[in-house]
Structure formats: structure tokens, C-alpha cells
Structure 1
Amino acid sequence: MDGKPGNPGLRERKKQRTHAAISDAAITLFLEHGFNQVSVAEVAEAAEVSKRTLFAYFPAKEDLVVHRLADHETELARVVRARPPGTDPLAAVSEHFLTGLRERDPITGLNDHPQVRRVRRMILDAPTLVARMDRFKTGAERALAQALRETADVPELTARLAAVQIVGVRWALADDNAERLEHGESADERYPDAVAAAELGFALLENGLRQLTPRR
């Protein structure tokens, strides 16, 4: 056997190291030269792998960037599924976002680490990455709608419309925070207003999504 039960074996650890090496090389080159200016061949050379190996790990060039956000695509769905019994889905999502603000989670837009800001700017400057992020947003809506259907006992259309609104508000709040940081505010300076904006955004949603409240 390659390893103990519950631990990745030697082959899996090697795959993880190769995956990380390719990703790190790609991000370094993209930040230094620009996403559109760096070829897949250059990334492969920097990571010391073949193009064939690179594409085995990352089917498209955009995946070299977006994979770092992949876990967030189903994040809200997981929050809704894991909420305590009797908790409103919207309340669970709201509390999760507020926790993210406190912890300076980059997905909330409230993180002023230089590399986080540079990656965001790189994405916005590359049309193909912007398009991939739109697909990411659609995937988040789809996953959340499924979670709402399964846990809140609401019709399919209600779940779809609610998911679009919830994901849209989170997306807008994160964009607003990131824009404020780009214009010179620090994350600590922005934090109180970010909390107020989040509370406003989710309060506005609550007025229209009361039917998601668990039945007594």
C-alpha cells in the first residue's frame, strides 16, 4: 500500500505536488507578464512538465487561475445544507458572509494582500477569465438552487430565483469591497462599512425571501 488509511499514498502526493507546482508557476508568470501574454508552453516549461501533462491537470488555460476559486463555487450550497435545524437558509448565508468579512476571506473582497489584489486585477483584465468567472457564478447559482430545493422544501422556480438573488448580492458586496480597496482603503478601514453593506443587502433579500423560512 502507498500509505496509511486516511492518508494520501505516494502516487497521490506526487500528483498533488505536480498540480501545485504547475499552478504556482502559472500564477507567477501571469502576474509578472499578464495572462494573455503567457503561453501554456511557457507555463509547462517553468513547471518542468510537458504540455500534455499540464493539460492532464488543467484542461484549459483559464483553469490555471480559476481552480484556486473552485471550492467557492459550491460554498453557499454547503452552507445551506449544513445549517442547524430550524435556521433560515438566508440567515445561514448572511452569517457565513459576515464571518468571511471578519476573517478577511478573499471571496468577500475584503482582503488587501498585494497578491490577492493583483490576481483580481489580472482576472478583470483578461476577457476569457471574466467569462470563466461568469460560468463560476452560474455554477454557484445552480448548486445553491439544488440545496434550497433539497433542504427548504420550495418549488424549483422559487429555488432558482432565490439562488440568483442570493449569489448576486454576495457577488455585488464582494465587488464593492474589492473596488474600495483598489481605490486606497485598507481592509481594516473598510470593514465597518462592509459589515453595514452586507447587513443591508441581506435585509433587502429577507423582505422578499420570507417563504424560505422553515415551516414550524
Structure 2
Amino acid sequence: MVEGLRERKKRQTRQHISDVATGLFMERGFEAVTIAEIAEAAEVSVNTVYNYFPTKEDLFVDREEEVVDRPSRLVRERAAGQSAARAIVEQLRRDIRERHAYVGLTEGYDRFRQVMTESPSLMARLFTIQGKAVNQLGVTLREETAAAPEDPTPEFVAHQLVGLQNAVQRCIMRGLAEGGGVDEVAEDALRKVDVMESLLSDTVLNYAAKNTP
């Protein structure tokens, strides 16, 4: 579908407000910045900011939908013969090796992490996002396996796989916060992925293997 002029203008306005807000948050911290200050800096009204971002936290986590859906997308797009766990764990390793923003290993992420961890409301939002990712992955696994409504396996597997991701990301955040270099922290994270994968049962590791054509 071709994006119309009105839709493009709305998207550009939303991105502009988000970029301005992010700059202010990085400079002064999340709690110190008000919506009114963001509106003034972005040269829009306060109501316009709220039209695009219902809460202040939405401005900081403007890619929430993408983050929530990512584990599910990896499962939906897994290769033939590949299980859900393999799809997610192998992508996690690639993210670490490529120093991806998803695992907090990109340049400039230290300040982003600091702003987030210093704000109770942002940390609460982070836990909410993680919970949404678990719930969405559970739905996806149920659809992919045609599990019976009374079967709790999809949700339990989703908890383990998203939990593994979250645990690795916390290790990375802690390693960087303690002064570790990016390469050093990345290598340690890869070792931790190996350990965590070894602790998964065969049932989880092979769950929802995609049928070959």
C-alpha cells in the first residue's frame, strides 16, 4: 500500500516529537523533562504530543510494539525444521555478535540504559513490555502448534524463552554498568547464552519445530 501524504505527514510528526523527546531525556533524564518542554522544543502543542503519545513513557519506548512482537515474529518466520527455541536463541546470538541495539551493545546505549534504570516508571514499563512479549509469544506458539485450549504448554514455553532473553539482556546491562568493555561483555553474554540453552529441556528446545514442505 502506498503511503498517502496525510499518513506520511503524521508519521514524520510522530518521529520528530519522539526524536526531540529522546534528546531531552538523554540530556537531562526522564523524570526532569515535562511534556510541556517537549512540546515547546518540538514546536507543537501539548495536545499534539498527547495525540501521538498518550503517556510520557510512550515517548521513551516508542518502539514498544516492535519489541513486544519480535519473539513472535522470529517464531513465525523460522526456517523449516527449526524449533521456536532455536529461532529465538540463534537470533539472540546474532544480536550479540553484531552488537545490536536489541541487546544494548550499540554505541550510546550506556546513557539510554542509565536514563531507564534511574526512572521507576520506566523500569515498571519495561517489566510490562516483557510481560506483553510473553503473552504474545504464548498466543503465537498456540497458533503454530494448534495446541488444545486446555494445554498450558505454549504459555510455559513462552515464559522460558522470553525469560532467557531478558536474563541475557540484564547480564549485558550489568556488565556495561560495571565498566566492562563492549567486546568483553559480548563474549561473556555468548557464554551465558550457551549455559542457559543447556538448561532448557529437550521438550522446550524442540517445541514447535516447523514442518518441512
Q: Is the 8 A contact 1:44 1:51 kept in 2?
A: yes
Residues 105-184 of structure 1 mapped to structure 2, 5 A cutoff: 105-111=100-106, 113-114=107-108, 116-155=109-148, 156-184=151-179
**Kindly tell me: are residues 215 and 101 of structure 1, through their superposed partners in 2, closer, same or farther at Cα, counting changes over 3 Å?**
closer
Query: 1:192 aligned to 182, 187, 196, which one?
Result: 187
Residue 5 (structure 2) aligns with: 10
Q: Is the 8 A contact 1:109 1:176 kept in 2?
A: no
How big is the shift at 1:209? 1.8
Kindly provide the CA deviation profile for residues 112-168 of structure 1, in whole angstroms up to 9, marking residues without a partner as x: x12x21111111111111111111011100111011111134454111111111111
How big is the shift at 1:211? 6.1
How big is the shift at 1:215? 8.9
Q: Any stretches of 5+ residues in structure 2 without a counterpart?
A: none
**Kindly tell me: are residues 96 and 206 of structure 1, through their superposed partners in 2, closer, same or farther at Cα, counting changes over 3 Å?**
farther
Residue 41 (structure 2) aligns with: 46
Higher relative contact order (CA 8 A, sep 6+): 2
Kindly provide the CA deviation profile for residues 142-195 of structure 1, in whole angstroms up to 9, marking residues without a partner as x: 111011111134454111111111111110101101211122222222222221
How big is the shift at 1:106? 1.9
How many residues were matched structurally?
209
Query: CA separation in 1, counterparts of 2:132 and 2:208?
Result: 24
* Higher mean C-alpha deviation, range 31-40 or range 133-142: 31-40
Q: Any stretches of 5+ residues in structure 1 without a counterpart?
A: 1-5
- TM-score, with length taken from structure 2: 0.90
Query: CA separation in 2, counterparts of 1:126 and 1:27?
Result: 14
* Higher mean C-alpha deviation, range 178-187 or range 43-52: 178-187
**Kindly tell me: are residues 161 and 10 of structure 1, through their superposed partners in 2, closer, same or farther at Cα, counting changes over 3 Å?**
same
Identity across aligned pairs (percent)?
Answer: 35
Superposition CA RMSD, Å: 1.9
Query: CA separation in 2, counterparts of 1:87 and 1:7?
Result: 34
Secondary structure, aligned partner of 1:74:
helix
Query: CA separation in 1, counterparts of 2:165 and 2:54?
Result: 28
Q: Is the 8 A contact 2:83 2:210 kept in 1?
A: no
Q: Which portions of structure 1, spanning 4 or more consecutive aligned residues, are displaced by more than 4 angstroms?
A: none
Q: Is the 8 A contact 2:78 2:210 kept in 1?
A: no
